[in-house]
Each structure stands twice: as C-alpha cells, then as structure tokens.
Amino acid sequence: MGRIIVTEFVSLDGVIEAPGGGEGFKYDGWSFEIDRGEGDQFKLDETRDTAALLLGRTTYEGFAAAWPSREGEFADKFNNMPKYVISKTLDKAEWTNSTVLSGDVAEEVANLKRTQDGNIVVHGSARLVQALLEHDLVDELRLMVFPVILGTGKRLFGATTDKKRLRLAESRVVGDGVSILTFERVQ
C-alpha cells in the first residue's frame, strides 16, 4: 500500500509558485535566496525514501524538461523512479517511467495508493494537492516554510468543503530560519 506525501517549499503567506525558478514568476527562484542548511540533506533523504512521484501536468512538464539532463544521486533517483502525472490534456508522457493518469483524480490516486508500494511523493502541483486534500488522500504533508512573504503567487491551500484536521508529527528549524514541518492526517 502506498502513502501520498506532499512536500512543498512554501512562503509564510502560503505561496508555492516557482521556488526553484524557471516559470517566469515575479519572484522566480525565491527559495534559493535563503540558506536551507540541513534542509538540503532533508530533501535528499526524502528523495531516497521515495518510491514514485505523483505530479500535476504543469509541474511534470517543468521536471521533465529539467531533470533528464542532470546528474547525481538526486537526479538519478528522479529520472529512474516511476512517475505518475495527473492530466486531462496530456496524451503521452515522454520522461522515463512516466504514466499519464487521465481519469477522475480521486479514483486514480486511490487506485495508485492500492497498487504502488512505498512513498508516493507530490512536489509543487498546487491544483493536484488541493484536490488530494479535498478527498482526504494526503497521508503526510511536509512543508519547508521559508521566512519570506511574497504577497503574490499560487497558494498551497484552496477552499475545501470541510475542515481538514492534521497532527504535527515533527518540526525543526534549519539554515537561515527555514522551518521544516511534518503533518500527518488525523483520521
């Protein structure tokens, strides 16, 4: 059985848009302006523990354009693991070991959790994350909260039909005031 883990770089005001840059956002690459310290090791360990990636189309396309040309342990893991992209418009996924899931998001992800063992990790993918939260499909939420207010950009959280209770499982501060917060869903 798989576990859906959402991992995000997020500003204090909830923005997750373009933390690494390359999207033409007003503050492209904003997360690189703040020292993450041990946060880089946290991300490497997280990637080592990832069995598969689950991404929205926009994030998938950005990753598929960037990662195949990169080298190193992190890139090797990303490039070789199974990747699932939720999309109604993408017919075919070219990045190695990628599969397009085009049906109902809740049904597709529930089925993926039944068939894929291990941690299924979601990066970015704001609309997908909001749908997963709405349908109570997120098992764990990992936030690297950067001490910056951006004032504009795609936000992590959207409207839900009811409240979503989480439990803080772990917290620590790394680098120049970056908080790593790990939440688990309360059932």
Residue 107 backbone dihedrals phi, psi, to 5 degrees: -70, -45
Mean pLDDT of 86-110: 96
Residue at 184: amino acid letter:
E
Residue 128, domain CATH: 3.40.430.10
Residue % of the chain over a pLDDT of 70? 100
CA-closest candidate to residue 137, choices 80, 62, 86, 81: 86
Residue 23: band (very low, low, confident or very high) from pLDDT cuts 50, 70, 90? confident
Check the CA dihedral 133-82-37-24 and report its sign. negative
pTM for the model stands at: 0.95
Cα–Cα distance measured from residue 32 to residue 13, given in angstroms and rounded to the nearest whole number: 17
Q: Which domain holds residue 176?
A: 2-185
pLDDT value, residue 177:
98
pLDDT at 187 > cutoff 90: no
Mean pLDDT of 25-48: 96
Mean pLDDT of 52-80: 94
Mean pLDDT of 91-103: 95
- Report the number of distinct structural domains present in the chain: 1
Residue 22: band (very low, low, confident or very high) from pLDDT cuts 50, 70, 90? confident
Mean pLDDT of 167-183: 98
pLDDT at 74 > cutoff 90: no
The mean predicted confidence, pLDDT, of the chain is: 96
